[in-house]
Structure 1
Amino acid sequence: MSALDGLEVRRTTTAQQLADGLSERIMAGAFGPGDRLRESAIAAELGVARNTIREAVRILELTGLVRYEVNRGAVVIAPTAEKIEALYTARERLETAALVRTPRPEQLAAITEAFDALCDAATNDPSAIVDRDLAFHQAIVALLDSTRLDEFFASLTQELRFYLTVLAKDETADEVIAEHRAILDAVRLGDRDRAVAEIHAHVEVSVERLKAVLKN
């Protein structure tokens, strides 16, 4: 008798599929910051049980895209300067800690490949730029050689994806590529101080742009 007897491989649940679909709509701007996700209305429109919608919303809450408010229920997050700074500070500290390490050849290759993929998206598939951007920074965090820290950064990416999608509306592909190329060049040269400085600058510019968006 095998230790795996009876183990079933299950496909993604309906709730997860709904969470993924709602996430895509939020990223696309179909739901704006502060908008309510009316579970009964969504359930009726999609012909899905309300409990399933509620489970999907809970999944979104864990990603940071949605939060519950008293007397309002589930609402799409409304960015604030404080939230942006807290999120980007966590990101910056992870990446700067990673960049003081010397990458192994395979790690440098992974960062380079992620940058090339970002450039390819900028030319051929602009809709993929945000995902490729995050993959580049995930490759940097991987320099820490910690699966737990990899997972922690991955847990930040859903919320980061939301903000990067906001930024994508005000950035050109050339600007995105130039900022990431500067980081990669410093890593390739083994210039740790410059690499850290480039990440500081990259994060600072992103935070300031997001704050400017909030004021509009």
Structure 2
Amino acid sequence: MSALDGLEVRRTTTAQQLADGLSERIMAGAFGPGDRLRESAIAAELGVARNTIREAVRILELTGLVRYEVNRGAVVIAPTPENVEALYTARERLETAAAARTPRPGQLEAITAAFGELVEAAETGDTGKIVDRDLAFHQAIVALLDSSRLDAFYAEMTKELRFFLTVLSKSETPEQVVAEHEVILNAIKEGDRDRAVAEIRAHIDTNAQRLKEMLGERR
């Protein structure tokens, strides 16, 4: 008898499906910053066990979209300029270090393909798709560091970045998103590492500043 006898592999649990659905609602603005996610009310409305909702909320907590507060329970994150600064500083350090490297042919193809998918997403005007492809483009750049650990670290960061990019998407057109990434791609393709680093730094710094300004307006 194998030690794994009876083990079932499920592609997606109910809790994960619920977490994905709640994440989409948060991104769409159905739940605003600071809003409580009332587990009992959600469970009753959806007709699922409260324990399943609790598990889904814990998954959201790991993504950075939700946090637990004393006497309030799970609440949607309310980003602060300090949060943005910390996250975008980490992002800039990783991406500029990656852009300073010379890509191998396969890596360059991956970055170019990711940009092509971003262009296709922009043509649909679907914010969710645009944000996903935007992050995939930057993930392909980080892959130039040749570190599976850093790839995984950045992938975790993108869960929180997705929230911020969704907020930013309300202030720019799909065409602007494509243009901002095209200059980065061109610098990498032309082998101009200094320009690639400068373009990425400018892109990240500009986005961070815009986010902090938007958050300041909400106060």
Task: State the TM-score, normalizing by the size of structure 1.
Answer: 0.96
1:93 corresponds to: 93
Structure 1 193/158 Cα, relative in aligned 2: closer, same or farther at 3 Å? same
3-state DSSP of counterpart to 1:74: strand
1:148 is matched with 149
Q: Which residue of 1 aligns with 2:119?
A: 119
CA deviations 1:14-53 (Å, max 9, x no partner) are: 1111111100100111000000001111111111111111
Structural RMSD (CA)? 1.4
Question: What corresponds to 2:202 in structure 1?
Answer: 201
Q: Partners in 2 of 1:4 and 1:69 — Cα distance?
A: 39
* Matched residue type, 1:143: L
Question: 1:133-144 to 2 correspondence within 5 Å?
Answer: 133-144=134-145
**Percentage of matched positions with identical amino acids:** 78
- What's the TM-score, normalizing by structure 2? 0.94
Deviant stretches of 4+, over 3 Å? 1-7
Q: For 2:113 and 2:57, how far apart are their aligned partners in 1?
A: 35
Residue number in structure 2 paired with 1:78: 78
Inter-partner Cα distance in structure 1 for 2:125 and 2:85:
29
CA contact (8 A) 2:187 2:196 kept: yes
Q: List runs of 5+ in structure 2 lacking aligned partners.
A: none
- 1:181 aligns to what? 182
What is the CA-CA distance between 1:4 and the residue it aligns to? 6.5
Partners in 2 of 1:76 and 1:7 — Cα distance?
A: 35
Structure 1 unaligned segments of length 5 or more: list them. none
Structure-1 residue corresponding to 2:130: 129
User: Could you give the per-residue CA deviations for residues 169-191 of structure 1, whole angstroms, max 9, x where no partner exists?
Assistant: 10111211111011111101111
| Separation in structure 2 between the aligned mates of residue 83 and residue 59 of structure 1, nearest angstrom | 20
